Chain A
Amino acid sequence: MSIITIQSNSGKTVKFEEKKFASGGMKDVHWGVDKNYVVAFYRDKQNENSKERVENIARLYRERIFEREGGEYWRKVLCWPSDVVEYNGKLGIVCPTYDNHFFFEYGSVNNDMLGIKGNEKEGKWFASASNQNRFLDPREKGDWRSYLRIGILISRAVKKLHSAGLAHSDLSYKNVLIDPAGGNACIIDIDSLVVPGKYPPDVVGTPDFIAPEVMASKSLKVGDENKALPNINTDKHALAVLIYMYLLYRHPLRGDKVHDMDPQKDEELSMGSKALFIEHPNDTSNIKNPENVKKTAMPWGDPKKMPYTICGPYLSALFERAFIENLHNPMMRPSANEWEIALVKTLDLTQPCMNKQCNQKWFVFDNKTNPKCPFCNTPYITMLPILNLYSAREEGKYKPDNHRIMVYHNQYLYKWHVDRTVFPNERISDADKRPLGYFVFHNNEWKLVNQSIPELKDVKSEEAIPIGGYIVLTDGLQLTFMNSLNGRLAAIQMVNGTE
């Protein structure tokens, strides 16, 4: 194996294998000599503008994100180019290699019959019902909460890009590696970043994720003022599609409606100017006939069996905004930050399925009568406490936070549940990550055990619950956690499962 040694544009020594080991849409990828990094060369000659862009991404924008307080956090979720090289007239970038958990450990079923062990965990393996059902080894799949967590990480990473004024421009399951088994996600191919007004995009995106306005104007020439190109708002569309696909294993716009007899034109219309949500409540012309869905893609392939509302109220509201109200209204699409918040809050609605064999293991409890797991239809059969959270901006005037906690056995209560100024994102301190108490079902009663909430109080009786003590949760009970205005109030509601 011959090794090539060159100096990078920032003066560092870069050694890489002469033979490429992979090819992407635009670049050929070579292993760095100790496999800690790769060098990816653009096949086509890049102009000065592109060169300046990658230089800026590898230096200026990288420093803005990584070389700040808390910058270390982003290494997990953003695989960022660290340097720029030129060799044989070709421009290349140096990127860190992906963490080990982004390569299949077990691969496919039947002793990895597809031979994918060791390959990258490209998102498409997981975002497809038939790949999930037929091919993936169960140990690779994770459970339903893994995908909520993956959504959180992707949203957070996109939020960071957007808050730095950058658009990824080509979010897709190809460019987001995910690891459901370990609950990890990482955005890759960051070199095509778009800086609004400065560096125009050189891709329109990847089929399935191209925003409708971009698809609709794809055939216009670059430079035409009506040609829509990727930007922060198109990233928001791609993000919504990614989250929908990871939670429901189907595409939100690929329904049965035929717009043109020519499949290519039909594709452009159904992803572009005529794009229509397959679960649109009023216009049902693009719904999927279950007869046209492969058996191997069931039940996910049938939105009637697995509607988006199984994702709970916070995510449903965002899906409605993204795919019903604002599919063709880029400015109004939900932001990455809104997705992150909704996904985090949705975790508090999840319940463990009572069926030990359930593949998804967790589901969103919808607070309806006769609750059951939507994935395996196992009913929920005990009494369940719900904490409805309120907060006050002035003394004694509590308003609902639109945030509730569906309690399960051995669930922890955290700072972000009790203090409205704390949110579990990348900025949370280690101290605030520690649990404050936990819920147990014990002697036929639901109890909240106070581990470290000094000011936990029963509002009606005005009795304090000391650290180390517990309170039995009953319908109508109200608890406060802090004496300050930042503290929340929880109103407890007991709901009955199926008898």
Chain B
Amino acid sequence: MKNSIIAILFFAAGIACAKLQLVPKIVLDSDFTLYVLYVQILFVGICMGAELNRSIALIKSLNVRILLVPFTTVIGTLLGVLLFSIFINSMPLSDLLATGSGFGYYSLSSIYIAEIRGETLGIIALLTNIAREIIGLAFTPLFAKHFGKLAPIAAAGATSMDTCLPVITANVGKNYAIISVFSGTVVTILVPFLITFILRVM
């Protein structure tokens, strides 16, 4: 929760600095954001690579059923957004689905979508995916109680591997931590693929 608020504050500070022209024009006109994103992705990769052996061992020790969890997260998200699109005329289905395909990974999804479709959809993606992370954090106890132990993992989407992991394990048990990390990792890797596919192919 605290991190989500800090995230929004940094975003707002960026807007303010651009409006008040506190930043050199060169930074504003360059692809600064994209380069910062690349650096971040590099470090995501480093963290994943360092855990590779452990991840493979965990997957081997678990049933094939574990594959169902990220799959369920993706299908459920897309179905939910598809249903929602029936009530929304102002946005094309592909834009809605791409926004939902951030799965809470707001930095990557918003910048990436902004690159492809422009800043407006980028903002929607940012707010949607920050909201998803906050919902994941706040409603995990409720989801765990009424919808089974996989529900909080699916709800958290990509964030089930990091931000939401502590609250998920606290509510569904430590034995589901592996499934949570696995699902979040797979969903995180899928984000750029899905967004590209939806925005460029659909």
Pairing of A with B = no
Listed in ascending order, the chain A residues whose CB lies under 8 Å from chain B are none
